Amino acid sequence: MAIHKIDGVDAVDGSSTGINSFPKKFVTLYCTAAVTAGRWVSIHATDDENGLGASVVLAPVGPSSTASNAATFGIATETTTAAGNLRVQTAGKYENAYVDGLTTVGLPLTGPLSGGTPGMASLDAETTYGPVIGVALESDATNLADVMIIDQGFF
């Protein structure tokens, strides 16, 4: 059976040279409430709407100061004002994602930690608080930074 590949990986421009790009991966899922573009989302395991698979919610904080929300997997690519279908980027470069605190280029990111802000990735210099969901691609003093989302393999 043929495989139809649309992620941009291994693309060539016709001249035997590779295209320098950041391949991205997206999924459309049901979101149970309003969400702002750039916020991180997580799987909402108890709500399965319209047979689309697990629904998503704004990524809640983890259960303790030493545990992140392990179900965080991607970033909302659009702002919604109510529950409904939401396009989520699950891998690749995302510009101006919400992060909790001062970012340093190369620093790993986890889901929101307790005491942090829902929908904002937490900075984890020690990578001990949960799965790494992304990496900061720039140093920034605001709560926005370019990130590389690490595909968690959920979709």
How does pLDDT run across 14-27, given as a tens digit for each residue? 555 555 666 789 99
Residue 23: the pLDDT is 78
One-character DSSP codes across 54-96: SEEEE-PPPSBTTBB-TTEEEEESS-BSSSEEEEEEEEEEEEE
Gap between the Cα atoms of 85 and 95, Å rounded: 22
* C-alpha to C-alpha distances, 125 to 23, 91, 153, nearest whole angstrom: 26, 21, 23
- Per the CB < 8 A criterion, the answer to whether 103 and 122 are in contact is no
Q: Quick one: 148 exposed, middle or buried, by C-beta within 10 A (0-12, 13-18, 19+)? A: middle
With cut-offs at 50, 70 and 90, classify the pLDDT of residue 11: low
With cut-offs at 50, 70 and 90, classify the pLDDT of residue 101: confident
In the block, tokens 């979101």 appear at: 31
How large is the average pLDDT for residues 34-49?
A: 84
Res 65 pLDDT > 80: no
DSSP 12: B
Q: Which amino acid is at 71?
A: A
- Per the CB < 8 A criterion, the answer to whether 151 and 143 are in contact is no
Token reading at 32:
């149970």
